[in-house]
Amino acid sequence: MQASNAEIEQRLEKLCGVTKPGHVTIQLISASGNTYQLPIQPSFIQCLDEKGNPHRTLTTIADVKGKVEETCGIDAVSQMLFRDNADDELEDDVTIEDCGLIDDQTMYLVVDTDRMYWYQHSKLVGQYKLPIVHVIRLMPEFMNSDEQSQSPKGRSRLIEFLRNCRKALGLMLERPAVHKVRSLKDLRQIERFLREVVMPIYEATSGSHSP
């Protein structure tokens, strides 16, 4: 334990002795006209090697997009960044050094709404596809066993619920290659239905049924 503590102290000492890198401040202008000041370090410490020496890595445009997401709340995957007086979008794997970004550089942010939609769509699928398939599979059992569902009104409500479930599942099965982008409002409505209606049923039944 003492040897381990001594090693940790040595690594911390080396880390504290590392000269802090300078930074450049980027003036980011969004398509809506908002301006943000983004301090960006040209490099950062990614990890420590076996001897405790810090390993630096150069900052890339992907890292800048992460900073933009923290500052503006816009998903990095939907961001398109441009230098002033340049028409080409900056690629994620290019370092800011290779881009020639300097202090007080102006950059422009454009949001790709298609990218944003399919990114949010993929998150929805990852979170809710399993629960909704599980609930759809339980519907015949509910219709046959639930006393309330035997009434015309109760059966009608279950059929409408099942129709909404299939509609939501159909949206989640859509793919960029063959389907058009829907509005984010549609996606939010489906998400609300899944969160508020489907998930309580899934959570109440998943322990006793196989999805």
Q: What pLDDT score was predicted for residue 100?
A: 84
CATH number of 2-111: 3.10.20.90
pLDDT in tens, 128-161: 999 999 999 988 776 666 555 567 777 788 889 9
Q: Which tops the pLDDT comparison, 27 or 54?
A: 27
The DSSP H or E segment spanning 24 is strand 24-30
pLDDT in tens, 49-101: 666 666 778 899 999 999 999 988 889 999 999 988 778 899 999 998 888 88
Q: What pLDDT score was predicted for residue 2?
A: 44
Taking residues 164-188, what's their average pLDDT? 93
C-alpha 125/C-alpha 105 separation (Å) is 39
Taking residues 98-117, what's their average pLDDT? 89
51 CB-side CA count, 13 A: 2
Q: What pLDDT score was predicted for residue 152?
A: 73
Q: What pLDDT score was predicted for residue 32?
A: 83
In whole numbers, what is the pLDDT of the chain averaged over residues? 83
Q: What pLDDT score was predicted for residue 22?
A: 67
C-alpha 84/C-alpha 79 separation (Å) is 16
Q: How confident is the model at residue 16 (pLDDT cuts 50, 70, 90)?
A: low
* CA angle (203, 205, 211) in 5-degree steps: 95
Nearest Cα to Cα of residue 204 among 125, 124, 135: 135
Q: How confident is the model at residue 202 (pLDDT cuts 50, 70, 90)?
A: very high
Query: Which percentage of the chain shows pLDDT scores above 90?
Result: 47
**pTM for this entry:** 0.68
Domain boundaries, the chain: 2-111, 115-205
